[in-house]
Structure 1
Amino acid sequence: MGSVRARAAVGATVVVALALVAAGLAVLLVLRDNLQDQTGLQAEVSAREVASQIATGTSYDQLDLPDSDEHPVVVTSESGRVLAVGDDVRAIDGKDVGRPGKQGPGASEEDGDDDDTGPEPGEVDDEVHYSDGTAEVDGKVADYRFARVEAKDTGGEQATVRAGAALAAEQNAVGTVRTAMLIGLPLLLVVVAGVTWLVTRRALRPVEGIRQEMAAITASTDLSRRVPVPSSKDEIGRLARTTNETLAALETSVERQRRFVADASHELRSPIASLRTQLEVGVAHPELLDTPGAVADTVRLQRLAADLLLLARLDAGERPSDVRIDLAAMVREESSQRVGDRIPVRADELASVEVTGSRSQLGRVLGNLLDNAQRHAESSVRVTVVREGTWAVLRVEDDGPGVPEGQRERIFERFVRLDDARARDDGGAGLGLAIARDVAVRHGGSLAVREDSAFELRLPVAG
């Protein structure tokens, strides 16, 4: 049962089989009951015809009895003595009733009831009793449906008329239907299983195509390939489209990772090579060692390693903590520690607004934004904190040349510099703004360039 087609075919066949068996049994029961009712009605009509003759005073030896082959009749007294019997009727329910005067089936001379019960003289009882039994007619025993009716002749003598109707037609009809069901049910189940197998196979054919293509992609590691999308707009079509979207996202992620590794290797190679050169010169000629340059390269290398480590943690899905942070206090603290900045930072509009998150990561965002402003400002760097509804807004502005409108999204990509030479000289690797935006998104906020020289950090207010 490892195949979906096999499980679907077996499941559908079992369900149809149970439904057909239940329906077949119901049909057989209804058919049998209806035929028995019709047979009983025929027996009742025959019994009442004979009882009516008795009630009108017809003598028992002059009764007009129906054909015994179709409706065997026996008339008995209250004591069970046979008063009249149809031609060729020899026994009912295995007891001899062949001649008038004999004891009837299941009765004896002592069985009579002296109580004055039953119909009035000259009347036929409205009540009729039914039973199934056998009768021997002309040496042949068959099954019959019997109707028993009470009647009294004009002299007040009570008689019981028992007439039967053959059950052969009912038995033959039920047997024919049952045989047809037993023959047709397996054939129908075979058809259901076959149709289910074919329909399921056709429906799952696109799934097999998707599986084969995914296996080929896995074997070739070519993430640019896509699975075939069927023309139908059903679940399989949506599965194929979702699979292709997943492959596209995976391809983008892998390409981004490859580019990240290549750029990181390139950025690490420069300070390492410079530091190695200076150390080798210092070993050979100690008087020529550029100690400040070696320290600067070491600091640059340390900052780059810290940035790469933070990016790796962000990419791994590290969740920020839930510490409450006052943005105004954080701005004052960070600004007070930047004593070596080229341009003093003005923080003259600071609303006390609390957010939740990681103090170190949000501090890194503010530091990166201030570093970026220091590199591009001419004479002014300004920080403000305001509250706008449910958002805390931190803006960092400078009076530099600004960011061209077409580049305002590109600057947030990793290792992107709009001025490669100046950024490299100043020690930037093109990671500061990328880190800042990633941290903002992880905190449920955003980071964007709102004006030429204004970076706006929006974070949800705590609580």
Structure 2
Amino acid sequence: MARLLGSVRARTTVGATAVVAGALVAAGLAVVLLLRGNLAGQADLRAEVAAREVAAQLATGTSYGGLDLPDGEDHPVQVVGEDGRVRAVSEDLQAVRGTGSPDVRPGGSGRGGGDDEDDRDDDPRRGEVSDDDPRLSTGTATVDGRTAGYRFAAVEVTTPRDETVTVYAGADLAAARDAVGTVTRAMLAGLPPLLAVVAGVTWLVTRRALRPVEAVRAELAEITASGDLARRVPVPGARDEIARLAATTNETLAALEESVARQRGFVADASHELRSPIASLRTQLEVAAAHPELLDVDGLVEDVVRLQHLAADLLLLARIDAGDRPPARPVAFGRLVRDELDRRAPRDRIAVRPSIEADPQVMGVPGRLARVVGNLLDNAERHADGAVGLSLRAEAGTAVLRVADDGPGVPAADRERIFERFVRLDDARSRDEGGAGLGLAIARDLVLAHGGSLTVGEAPGGGALFEVRLPAT
């Protein structure tokens, strides 16, 4: 249960339902407030119309007793003079609050005292109804034993006898309140079913949308269990994010399959290359044990040195594959090349003809950059007939190193293959002369790790031309 509630589908459903619930509550509250305000405005208008109708009768000279008053239950009316005495009330009006007087019978003591002259200046003229907006108030009235809330409008009028009175007329609020209550209850009753529908639809749609993801997950689980990297996850037909995820997953599986195949081939090739020097050492030691006088010390040393170099190359490749990146620092590439040439000079079979025109600065690891130069010179010396050339120059923010030889060159079809590990061309099959086929592979991996490129072409005078390009700082 906890797993189900913690799923993407459950979280999506809960989130969508919560958002819809919040939106519906906000919308419902706005509707209720607008409805209440509209109904209140209508009640104010009805009360004002009723008050002005009565005031118009008074303005025309109708006596208080002869007023045609509206139904008291719908529009209770009270006419109050300036002295506070009630002049007329609706029939069956038994009690009232919120008007000018609590009295519901004509007559009474009033408030006593005369009218203020300033107050009279604001009164409408004789036989006229005030044009001012009516005073509005909320109160209650009891009509024929029924008490209800009313909205009262107060309109002043001056009779032809020059008596100013205020007409209070009410509009029943029960209908408005009932309408607001009905709408509120309807919304509250409809909210849970609507949210249930939203949750159900979201649950079903999310399940349908995530079905391809589950298919990808299940296939990946089977691939992991079986170890068969040749399998691929299903790609949905829709061009959406899930389809792109599945396609990217297949690309990752393809890269992983290629990497594993390359690693297995590397291990097999390494085992094959290591077997020869180890077998040679064992043979020589067994012969030496049986016939000490036949011990070939120089041969043993050569085999040990070759085995040592091979182990070092394999270790370096393993570090490169593992993403080992020592901290880079500014390196004077021209000085590094000169130092490498000076170090190699005593043991070179063919003297290198250098042409160092610049000393560009590159970011890198000095030892690994020197290894690149050394591997390229070893390869050139191994295949050269009698000349090896090296040039270094700066071109448009790039350090360009070229190493050329006058050997047979590299056929166009093999110019990428020679950078693969343990690859030796037909004229370099001899393990004594051709090496293990790791030098160029190591050189390219190191150059790529420094953000550069290593390519091979044809030298101007024939032979092979290797070109290294590194970004200069």
- Per the normalisation by structure 2, the TM-score is 0.91
After superposition, the C-alpha distances for 1:133-183 in whole angstroms (9 at most, x for unaligned) are 222222222222211112222222221211112223212221221122111
Measure the CA separation in 1 of the matches of 2:344 and 2:150: 114
The equivalent of 2:471 in structure 1 is 460
1:332, distance to aligned residue in structure 2 (A): 6.0
Q: State the match for 2:72 in structure 1.
A: 68
1:38 and 2:42 correspond: yes
In the alignment, what sits opposite 2:111? 109
Which residue is 1:122 aligned to? Answer: 127
Distance 1:33 1:112, change over 3 A: farther
- Corresponding residue to 2:334 among 324, 327, 339: 327
Alignment of 1:245-260 (within 5 A): 245-260=251-266
SS at match of 2:88: strand
Aligned counterparts of 1:295 and 1:412: Cα–Cα separation in 2: 29
Q: Report sequence identity in percent.
A: 63
CA distance in 1, matches of 2:69, 2:350: 132
Secondary structure at 2:228 match in 1: coil
- How many pairs align? 457
Cα offsets for 1:201-250 (capped at 9, x unmatched): 11111111111111111111221111111111111111111111111111
| Secondary structure, counterpart of 1:401 in structure 2 | coil
Shift of 1:111: 7.5
Would you say the 8 A contact 1:328–1:352 is kept in 2?
no
| Contact kept in structure 2, 1:330 and 1:363, CA below 8 Å | yes
Distance 1:450 1:421 in 2: 18
Output the CA distance in 2 between the equivalents of 1:111 and 1:34.
Answer: 41
Cα distance in 2 between the residues matched to 1:240 and 1:264: 35
Q: Is the 8 A contact 2:96 2:104 kept in 1?
A: no
Q: What is the CA–CA distance in structure 2 between the aligned matches of 1:460 and 1:32, rounded to whole Å?
A: 75
Look up the match of 1:309. Answer: 315
Q: 1:112 to 1:216 in 2, by over 3 A?
A: farther
AA at the equivalent of 1:380: A
Cα-to-partner distance string for 1:418-454 (whole Å, 9 max, x where unaligned): 1376431226001000001111111221111121511
Cα shift at 1:410: 0.4
Matched to 1:402, the amino acid is G
Partner Cα separation in structure 1 for residue 23 and residue 438 of structure 2: 68
Equivalences for residues 250-329 of structure 1 within 5 A: 250-320=256-326, 321-327=328-334
Query: Aligned match of 1:222 in 223, 228, 247?
Result: 228
* Structure 2: tracts of 5 or more residues without a match: none
**1:48 maps to 2:55:** no
Corresponding letter in the other structure for 2:464: S
Q: Mean alpha-carbon deviation: is it higher for 435-444 or for 59-68?
A: 59-68
Matches within 5 A, 1:329-344: 330-331=337-338, 333-334=340-341, 337-344=344-351
Match of 2:387 among 375, 380, 384: 380
For the aligned residue pairs, the C-alpha RMSD in angstroms reads 2.0
Task: Return the alpha-carbon distance in structure 2 between the equivalents of residues 260 and 456 of structure 1.
Answer: 26
Pick aligned residue for 1:197 from 199, 203, 207:
203
State the distance in 2 between where 1:323 and 1:458 align.
16
**Matched ranges for 1:161-240 at <5 A:** 161-240=167-246
Please state how far the C-alpha of 1:405 moved relative to its aligned partner: 0.7
171-180 or 430-439, larger mean C-alpha shift: 171-180
Provide the rounded CA distance (Å) in 1 between the counterparts of 2:452 and 2:116.
Answer: 107
Q: Is the 8 A contact 1:122 1:154 kept in 2?
A: yes
CA distance in 2, matches of 1:420, 1:87: 127
* Contact 1:147–1:162 (Cα < 8 Å) also in 2: yes
Which structure 1 segments of 5+ residues have no match? Answer: none
Q: Describe the SS at the equivalent of 2:345.
A: coil
Counterparts in 2 of 1:52 and 1:332: CA distance versus 1, 3 Å: closer
2:137 matched residue in structure 1: 131
Q: 1:273 to 1:144 in 2, by over 3 A?
A: same
In structure 2, relative to structure 1, the CA distance for the partners of 1:140 and 1:359 (3 Å cut) is: closer
Is the contact made by 1:80 and 1:111 (CA closer than 8 Å) also made in structure 2?
no
